[in-house]
Structure formats: structure tokens, C-alpha cells
């Protein structure tokens, strides 16, 4: 089994810290872990967030607490050290990059020739709105419009051709909002574009772990069907932010893919 989305942000860049993740993987019968960081952790990516910080005072505060605490080189050095070490499981290194259309070239330039094993694209903001922080931020929002813009941004992310995969492709549902129109056409187009661009989609347990009452485990069933119909590669992922969550629900997610 693979856990393709594990954040290492809550510890130091040491082999001891990485071993906590690999040990947990071994315990949970995971053969391969994909470690990553949010790109905003690195000073180099901070300019991408100017407009989302301007849009919301809450995000501005959140961002300046979390962002820019490392430089990309620190991470690349850790990556090299880990590659020289045998942890008993396969370890891959990548980045989770927030997608903003106007920063496609910026991201491409910052990430090329860095020797990452994978680059994961995520829609965390819809027209500057940080939809996955707190349910109360949705009050007064146009749910139909936000969902439409989320999927439009996801399709643009795929077409940008910068990323290897798309993270949590229907995380917009985190707080259980529903559109008045069906989403099939977006699922279909997203799956088609993923397939055309040879990109993977995550089957991710993070949203369900965070909001079990409103977010089902993994993708919406119709979305998963569209992915399988278009032969999109699916990578199971926990979105763990600490070692104990490595492998969370990966066996169930794997089963969901084989059943379809
Ligand atoms: Zn994410
Ligand atoms: Zn993540």
C-alpha cells in the first residue's frame, strides 16, 4: 500500500523525525510513503499569497504564523540525506503547491531541476476564498458559484502541465455544502483532463478525518467512477500532519478503488 500525502511540518529536518513516519508506515503495512511540505513553508513561495492575505484578515494572520519558516534548500538537503538512508520503506519527496493561475510560470521556475519525486497541485483557494479553514467562513457565500469556480480552477491546474497529480480533488465538500445543480460534468471533464495529461488523482482520507460528519471517506462516488472510467491513476493518501496519522484509512481507500 501507498500513502501518497504526508506532511512533515511539525518536526525538525532530521533523520530521527523522518524515522517516526517510516516506523509508523511499517506498523500499518504501508510500503511506500510520499513526504511533502506545503509550499508556503518556504520563503521562496511567499509572494504567491499576497492577494489571499489582502482578501482576508484571518488568512493574513494564519499565513504569517505558518509561512516562510524554511528555505527550499533546507528541504532539498534533507531529501538528499533521507535518500542515502535505508528506513525499510520506500520514501518519496515532493511538494504540495497551492494552485493560482497567475503563478503557473513562477511555480514551474521554482520547482524545475529540483529533483523532486512528485509535485502535487492543490486548490486551497477559490478566487482568494480559503474555503477549507472554518465552516463559518461560508456564511453568506454563493455555494453554487464557489463549487463551479473550484472545479474550473482544478481543471486549469491539470491543464497547466506543471504537476504530477492533483490533491484531494473534491475537498470543496469538506463542510457538507451541496450545489443545486449536479456535478457530473465537472467530474467528467476533470477526469478526462487528468487522463490526457497523464496525472494522478488522490483518494485522500484527510477531509473525512477532519470532518467525519460532513465529508465522506475519499472522493464522491460519481467522481471516482469518472476517474476509473477514464483510467486515471489513483494514489491513496492520508494527508497526515503527524506520524500517528500515516496510513489512516489507506486499506479502505484502496478497496474503494478496486471496487469502483
Ligand atoms: Zn491540501
Ligand atoms: Zn496536504
Average pLDDT in the 6-23 region?
98
Grid cell 497541485 in the structure block, residue: 121
Beta-carbon neighbour count of residue 82 at 10 Å? 19
pLDDT class of 131 with cuts at 50, 70, 90? very high
Residue 23 alpha carbon to ligand 1 centre in Å:
24
Quick one: pLDDT at residue 260? 58
Residue 121 alpha carbon to ligand 2 centre in Å:
10
Ligand with minimal distance to 171 CA: 1
Write the CA distances from 189 to 153, 155, 196, integer angstroms.
12, 7, 10
Domains and CATH numbers, the chain: 2-259 (3.20.20.140)
Helices (H), the chain: 15-27, 50-55, 57-66, 72-83, 104-111, 143-159, 184-196, 206-210, 221-229, 250-259
Q: Residue 179 has which C-alpha cell? A: 450545489
Residue 174 alpha carbon to ligand 2 centre in Å:
14
Q: In a 10 Å sphere around its CB, with 0-12 CB exposed, 13-18 middle and 19+ buried, how is residue 86 labelled?
A: exposed
Ligand with minimal distance to 167 CA: 1
Residue 86 alpha carbon to ligand 1 centre in Å:
28
Residue 7 alpha carbon to ligand 2 centre in Å:
6
* Kind and range of the H or E run holding 98: strand 90-98
Residue 139 alpha carbon to ligand 2 centre in Å:
25
With beta carbons less than 8 A apart as the criterion, state whether 201 and 234 touch.
Answer: yes
Average pLDDT in the 122-148 region?
98
Average pLDDT in the 156-164 region?
97
pLDDT class of 258 with cuts at 50, 70, 90? confident
Give the N- to C-terminal CA distance of the chain in Å, as an integer.
Answer: 17
Grid cell 506545503 in the structure block, residue: 38
Percentage of the chain modeled with pLDDT above 70? 100
Ligand with minimal distance to 8 CA: 2
Residue 132 alpha carbon to ligand 1 centre in Å:
9
Ligand with minimal distance to 240 CA: 2
Average pLDDT in the 232-248 region?
98
Ligand with minimal distance to 36 CA: 2
Beta-carbon neighbour count of residue 124 at 10 Å? 21
- The span from the CA of 231 to the CA of 192, in Å, is 9
Which of 174, 238, 246 is closest to 206 using CA atoms? 238
Residue 238 alpha carbon to ligand 2 centre in Å:
9
Ligand with minimal distance to 237 CA: 2
Which of 154, 155, 144, 205 is closest to 178 using CA atoms? 144
91-121 residue pLDDT tens? 999 999 999 999 999 999 999 999 999 999 9
State residue 183 phi and psi, 5-degree precision.
Answer: -105, 5
Quick one: pLDDT at residue 208? 97
Q: Are strands 2-7 and 118-122 parallel, antiparallel or unpaired?
A: unpaired
Beta partners for residue 32, in sequence order: 2, 90
The 3-class SS string of 170-202 reads CHHHCCCCCCCCCCHHHHHHHHHHHHHCCCEEE
Average pLDDT in the 26-39 region?
98
Strand, coil or helix: 245: helix
Ligand with minimal distance to 38 CA: 2
Ligand with minimal distance to 35 CA: 2
Grid cell 518519496 in the structure block, residue: 92
With beta carbons less than 8 A apart as the criterion, state whether 249 and 216 touch.
Answer: no
> Is the predicted pLDDT of residue 213 greater than 80, yes or no?
yes
Residue 63 alpha carbon to ligand 1 centre in Å:
15
Average pLDDT in the 170-177 region?
98
Residue 113 alpha carbon to ligand 1 centre in Å:
23
> Is the predicted pLDDT of residue 217 greater than 70, yes or no?
yes
Average pLDDT in the 170-192 region?
98
Residue 65 alpha carbon to ligand 1 centre in Å:
18
Ligand with minimal distance to 34 CA: 2
Quick one: pLDDT at residue 133? 97
- The span from the CA of 189 to the CA of 191, in Å, is 5
Amino acid at each position: 500500500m501507498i500513502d501518497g500525502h504526508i506532511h512533515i511540518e511539525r518536526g525538525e529536518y532530521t533523520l530521527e523525525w523522518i524515522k517516526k513516519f517510516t516506523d509508523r508506515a511499517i506498523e500499518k503495512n504501508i510500503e511506500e510513503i510520499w513526504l511533502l511540505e506545503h509550499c508556503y513553508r518556504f520563503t521562496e513561495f511567499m509572494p504567491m499569497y499576497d492577494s489571499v492575505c489582502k482578501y482576508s484578515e484571518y488568512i493574513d494572520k494564519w499565513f504569517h504564523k505558518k509561512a516562510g519558516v524554511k528555505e527550499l534548500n533546507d528541504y532539498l538537503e534533507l531529501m538528499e540525506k533521507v535518500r542515502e538512508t535505508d528506513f525499510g520503506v520506500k520514501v518519496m519527496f515532493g511538494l504540495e503547491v497551492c494552485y493560482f493561475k497567475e503563478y503557473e510560470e513562477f511555480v514551474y521556475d521554482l520547482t524545475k531541476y529540483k529533483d523532486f519525486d512528485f509535485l502535487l497541485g492543490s486548490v486551497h483557494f477559490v478566487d482568494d476564498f480559503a474555503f477549507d479553514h472554518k465552516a463559518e467562513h461560508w456564511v453568506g457565500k454563493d455555494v453554487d458559484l464557489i463549487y463551479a469556480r473550484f472545479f474550473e480552477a482544478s481543471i486549469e491546474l491539470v491543464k497547466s502541465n506543471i504537476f504530477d497529480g492533483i490533491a484531494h480533488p473534491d475537498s470543496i465538500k469538506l463542510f457538507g455544502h451541496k450545489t443545486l445543480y449536479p456535478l457530473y460534468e465537472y467530474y467528467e471533464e476533470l477526469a478526462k483532463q487528468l487522463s490526457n495529461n497523464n496525472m494522478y488523482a488522490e483518494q485522500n482520507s484527510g477531509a473525512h478525518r477532519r470532518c467525519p460528519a460532513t465529508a465522506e471517506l475519499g472522493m464522491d462516488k460519481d467522481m471516482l467512477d469518472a476517474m476509473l472510467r477514464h483510467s486515471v491513476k489513483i494514489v491513496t493518501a492520508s494527508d497526515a500532519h503527524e506520524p500517528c496519522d500515516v496510513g489512516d484509512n489507506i486499506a479502505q481507500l484502496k478497496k474503494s478503488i478496486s471496487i469502483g
